[in-house]
Amino acid sequence: MSNENAPISEPAAAAVAPAPAAPSPNPYSNRPQRRDGHGGGQRGPRRDNRRDQPQNTGDGPAMVEKVVFINRCAKVVKGGRRFSFAALTVVGDQKGNIGVGYGKANEVPDAIKKSTEHAKKKLMHVKLKGDTIPHDVTGEFDGGKVLLKPASPGTGLIAGGGVRAVLEAAGIKNVLTKSMGSKNHIAVVNATVNALLQLRLAEDFTKLRQA
């Protein structure tokens, strides 16, 4: 007859009692400590707020870029047709400084980039009277002929096409215009620039009389 109160031997006790489970390794234990005091694997607060930083950090004035016209040219070669693009662009700071550029490339973005860089190298200053022009003026270039007339506040920019792009880049907000010549975009844009370069203020005429 077996004795139920007999002590259990050590091997038998080891077999009966389950071994304690080993702690699972922390996958983030090897990460370095964050500078804000949070351990690895726990995201802490941002150290900076990027939304409060200014988006435009350039020192120069903000330039307005307007694409007036993009022309596609096809060249017939042995294997088919090869296309290239030419872009006409107007840039300005809306404070009287404007420039016109023309660039060609095999892709549209490259053509626009080249024309914009060309326009920025040829900036010209025109004389304005507030947000309009001081007097009537007519500009001509090749077959293009553009008439500009000053307008009272609230009239708006009564223009279209290349004329409107040039006037917006120059900063003119109230003016009446009429294109009376060729509809070629290059001719119209350059005729508008020619008209703006003819503008004179009252001070300029006073200096001429006193000279």
Taking only the tens place, the pLDDT of each residue in 109-159 is 999 999 999 999 989 999 999 899 999 999 999 899 999 999 999 999 999
Record the pTM.
0.68
- Give the model's pLDDT for residue 89: 95
Question: Is residue 112 within 8 Å of 89, Cβ to Cβ?
Answer: yes
- Give the model's pLDDT for residue 211: 72
Question: Is residue 98 within 8 Å of 170, Cβ to Cβ?
Answer: yes
- Give the model's pLDDT for residue 24: 56
Q: Quick one: pLDDT band at residue 38, thresholds 50, 70, 90?
A: low
Strands (E), the chain: 64-77, 80-92, 97-105, 124-125, 137-141, 144-150, 157-158, 175-179
- Give the model's pLDDT for residue 134: 92
